[in-house]
Structure 1
Amino acid sequence: MTRPQLTPPAGVLVAIDVAKARNEVLIEVPGLARRRRLSVLNTRAEHDRLIALLSDLDQPVTCGFEATGNYHRPIAWRLLQAGFAVRLISSVGLARTCEALHNGWDKNDPKDAQVMLHMIRIGASQVYHDPLAAGINDVQELSKTHDAVSRAKTEVLHRILTHYLPLYFPEVDRFRHNSRSDWFFAFLDRFPTPASITVLSKEAFIAAAWDVVGRKVAKAQLLGDIYETARSSIGLPVPPDAPAVSMFRLVIGEVRGLIRQRDAIEAAADTLLSESADYKLLRRIPGIGPINALTILAEAGDLRRFSHHRQFLKFCGLDLATQQSGTFRGQTKLSKYGNARLRRTLWLAGQVAIRQRENGFRDKFERYIARDRHNADLRRKALTAITAKMARVVHAVIKTGADYRPFVEGPVPGGRTPLSRAVRA
C-alpha cells in the first residue's frame, strides 16, 4: 500500500471551520493575492452553493477541517461526493500551530481558518476516511450504541448494588455471578425483599421461583440457600407493597430493558457481519468475541490502510513515548494519544486471551511474570505487552488475510525480552 501524499498538489486550498449552525470558509486560489472568505450555513442550498463555487474554479481542490462533534460529517460527505480531496486536521495540532503562529492563546473562527489553511499547505493533516464512503457507518453506529447501552447498564447496576441492595436485601448479592445474565434481576423483580420470600414456605418459594431463575446446576439447593439467607437477612423491614419497593422494581425494570437492548444489538451485529471476511478472521483470534471484533472494525476501519503495524500501534496509542530534555530523560511509557476505545478493546481482548488454556498470548504473559508472579507492576507491564501483541496480530491477520495460527511461542533466544522492546517490536 502506497503512503498517501499529504502535501496537496497545486490547486485550490479550502479551510472550513465547522460549527453547528454555520461554517467559516477560507479559500485560497493560486495566482490571486486575496483569499476569499465566506460563511456557509448548514443547509442543503448553502452546501450546494459552496460546491458549485469550488467546481467553477476548474482546478484541483483540497479541503480541510477540524472534526467538531458530528457536525462535520454531512459537509465532508458532500465534498467527497463532489470529487474534492478532503483532509482532517488534528485539534491538538491546530491549537499548537495557532499558538506558534500568532503568539497567543485566543481562539476565534476566522483565525482558526487561517491556521487550517497553513496546515493544509504544509501537509500537517490526515486523509479523511468517511465511514459512509468506507461502508462502515452501520458498524460504527452499532458499536457506539452498544457502548452507550453497556455504560448505562453499568451505571444502573451500580445504583442497585450500592443503594437498593444494602437497604433491602444485602445478602442476596453473593448469588450474583454474571452481570450479563438476566435471571438475577428477574428474581429481584419477583422477590425484591426478604419479606416477599419468607411470607411463603420453603417449598412454596422453591416452586414459585423455579422458572424465574432459569436453568441452573443444583437449582433446588440454590433456591434453598436463598430462602435461608432471606430468613436471616438484616435488610430493612419494608412491606412488599411499599412505594420504596416500587421504586426498586422500577430500577430493576430499567436494567432488564438495557440488557435486552444490548442482546438485540449483539445479535444484529453478528447478523450484519456474518459474511464479512475480516470479521471471521478476527473471531478466530483468542480473546476476540463478537463485540470486540465489531469495535475493532468500527474504530479502525480498513486495517489494510496501515502499511506497517507500527502505524496501527500509533493509531491505537500503543506506541512508546519518552519525555527528554537536556540531561533529563523521563520514563518510557505509552503515548495514549490514539483511539481510546480501540485501545481499551485490545486490552480487554488480551485479558481474555491470557485466561484461556493455551495460546501464544498466555505463553508470552507467563514468561513475563515468571520471575515474580505477585508483582502488580510487572503484571501491568506484561498486560501492556500483551495488548500491543494483540494489536500486531489483529493487523497482521487482516492485512495478510491468513487465519490466526494458535501456536505457543518458544523461549526467546538469549533470555527474556525487555518489556520496552516487546511493546516496540
Structure 2
Amino acid sequence: MNSTRNDTTNQRIERITTFHAIVGIDIAKDIHAAQITDFRGRTLMPRHCSFRNSEEGFEKLLHWIQEAGAKHGKTSFLVGMEPTGHYWFNLANWLLAQNIEVVLVNPVTTHRNKENRDNSPSKNDPKDALVIADVVSRGYYTDYVPQSPVFDRMKTVMSDREYWSKQSRSLRNRIVRWIDLYFPEFSSVFSEWDGARSLATLKAFPIPADLRERNAEDVISGWRSHGVQRAAGSTGRAKAVALLSAASRSIGKSNTNEEARRDILRLLHFYEETQRVLEEIQQEVESLLEQVPAAQQIRSISGLGTVTMACLFSCAGDLRNYAHGRQLLRRAGLNLAERMSGKHKGQIKLSKRGDSMLRKYLYLGMLNLVRQNADFRQWHAYNQRKGMSKMKSIFKLIGKLARILIGMVQRGETYRSATSQDLVA
C-alpha cells in the first residue's frame, strides 16, 4: 500500500466488497464475543456468538461465521480484533490457518467509537465486538501478518530480557537500600557496591558488627574465600584497613543484625542468579541476530548496540516490509501530533501511540550513537548550533536514523560515513 495515510485508508475500504462479511471479536482471557456485519454495518445474525478460548470454541466461531455467510450470500470474511495482551495470538493464528483474513484494530479507536450506534457510554462485550466490526468497515485497521520464526523468537527473548532487567533493577535498589540502612559508610570505601571486593565483603562480613574485632588479614582472607583474585597487595590492604575503620564508626541500624544478615545474603543470591540469566539471554540474542537477514547491514552503523538492534527487529519485525522511515517512527509512537482549531495552534508533541519498548530503545540507542558515532555526534552538535535543544536534537536524529535504516535495508547497502557536506545538509 502507498505510504499516504488517506490513500491507505481508501484502499482498505475498497478492499471490502459486497461479498464480504465483517466479524468483530472482543478478546478476553477465557470467553470471547463476536458480532458479524456486512460492509455497510448491518448485523447479519440476531445474536452475538460467545466462544471459549479453546479449539472447540474456535470451531464454534467458524461454524457460526460460515452459517451467517451461507444465509446472506457472503463468500469472503474479514475478522477484526484488538491486540489485547497475549490472548489474541492463538485465535488469530488459528483463523489464518483456516484461510480467513485477520486484521487488528487499535483499542483507542474502539474506545472513541463506542457511542456511535447508541449514543451511550455503556460498555459490554457484544457492543465492543460490534464497534470493532464497524471500525473495520471504515478502514481503520492494520493487517495481521505473522513474522518469520526468527523475529518471533527474538521478540520472545527480548520480552524475557525486559522482565529480568526489571528484576535486576529492583534487586539493585533493594541492596542499595540495605546498605544505606545497615552500613551507610560502605560507600565511602567502595564506590561501586557490585565490584568483586564489594560483593565479597557483603557476603563474608554483611554487617559492621562482623568486622569488629577483626584485622586486615581476616578481611583479606574473607575476600579470598569468596573468589577475589589478588585480594591482598597494597590496594587490597588499604581497602581492608579503610573498611575496618568505617565499620568501627558505623551509625547503621544494629538491633536486627541476624535478620539483616539473612536479608542481604538472600538479595545477593537472587541478584547473581538474575545476572546469570541476563548473560544467557545476551548470548541467545547474539545468536539470533546472526540469523536475521538485515542484521549485518545494521551492524555497519558504529555505536548501535546489540540490544538496540535486537529490540528493533523484535518490535518492528522485518524492516524490508517498511517503505519509509516514517512508518518505523509511527510504529514506535515517535511521529509528531499537533492540535489545531480555528486560531488556536497547540504545541507539537510526540504521539506516543506505538510500541513503548521500541521507543525506549531507539532513544537509548541514539544516546549511544551521539557518544560513539562521529557522524551522529557532529549532526547533534550542528543541531545545537542552530539553536535546537539537546532533547529536540536527539529526537530529530532518531527520525534520521529511521530513514537511514529503512533506506539501507531497501537498497541492500551498508552504512557509509557521511561526508562533511552531508553533515550540514
Q: Which among 203, 210, 222 is matched to residue 189 of structure 1?
A: 203
Question: Are 1:321 and 2:337 matched, yes or no?
Answer: yes
Report the aligned-residue RMSD: 3.2
The alignment partner of 1:136 has SS state of: helix
1:300 maps to which residue?
316
1:350 Cα offset (Å): 0.9
Gaps of 5+ in 2: none
1:108 maps to which residue?
124
1:421 maps to which residue?
none
Question: Are 1:158 and 2:173 matched, yes or no?
Answer: yes
Q: Which among 404, 408, 419 is matched to residue 415 of structure 2?
A: 404
The 3 A distance-change label for structure 1 pair 171 and 366 is farther
How many residue pairs end up in the alignment? 406
Provide TM-score, normalisation by structure 1: 0.84
CA distance in 2, matches of 1:82, 1:143: 30
Q: Which among 360, 365, 379 is matched to residue 349 of structure 1?
A: 365
1:263 Cα offset (Å): 1.0
Q: Which among 84, 94, 99 is matched to residue 100 of structure 2?
A: 84
Provide TM-score, normalisation by structure 2: 0.84
CA distance in 1, matches of 2:82, 2:136: 11
Mapping for residues 122-271 of structure 1, pairs under 5 Å: 122-131=138-147, 135-161=150-176, 163-173=177-187, 175-177=190-192, 184-197=198-211, 199-210=213-224, 212=226, 220-221=234-235, 224-225=238-239, 227-233=241-247, 234-236=250-252, 238=254, 242-271=258-287
1:41 maps to which residue?
52
1:369 maps to which residue?
384
267-276 or 221-230, which deviates more: 221-230
1:277 maps to which residue?
293
The 3 A distance-change label for structure 1 pair 168 and 364 is same
Q: Which amino acid aligns with 2:219?
A: F
1:2 Cα offset (Å): 6.1
Q: Which amino acid aligns with 2:33?
A: E
Q: Which among 74, 78, 88 is matched to residue 62 of structure 1?
A: 78
Question: Are 1:386 and 2:397 matched, yes or no?
Answer: yes
1:203 Cα offset (Å): 3.7
Given that 1:195 and 1:239 are in contact with CA atoms closer than 8 Å, whether structure 2 keeps it comes out as no
Q: Which amino acid aligns with 1:224?
A: A
The 3 A distance-change label for structure 1 pair 31 and 273 is closer
1:145 Cα offset (Å): 0.8
Question: Are 1:96 and 2:121 matched, yes or no?
Answer: no
1:16 maps to which residue?
25
The 3 A distance-change label for structure 1 pair 124 and 215 is farther
Report percent identity of matched pairs. 24
Q: Which amino acid aligns with 1:278?
A: A
Q: Which amino acid aligns with 2:235?
A: Q
CA distance in 2, matches of 1:315, 1:31: 30
Deviations 1:374-410 (A, max 9, x none): xxx8222222223333333333333333212233654
CA distance in 2, matches of 1:191, 1:53: 69
Gaps of 5+ in 1: 418-425
Q: Which amino acid aligns with 1:12?
A: A
Q: Which amino acid aligns with 2:115?
A: E
The 3 A distance-change label for structure 1 pair 227 and 60 is farther
Given that 1:346 and 1:391 are in contact with CA atoms closer than 8 Å, whether structure 2 keeps it comes out as no
1:213 Cα offset (Å): 7.1
Q: Which amino acid aligns with 2:183?
A: F
Deviations 1:52-109 (A, max 9, x none): 5546747221110112221111111101111111110111111111234432221111
Given that 2:324 and 2:407 are in contact with CA atoms closer than 8 Å, whether structure 1 keeps it comes out as no
Q: Which amino acid aligns with 2:412?
A: G
1:412 Cα offset (Å): 6.0
CA distance in 2, matches of 1:383, 1:359: 15
1:343 Cα offset (Å): 0.8
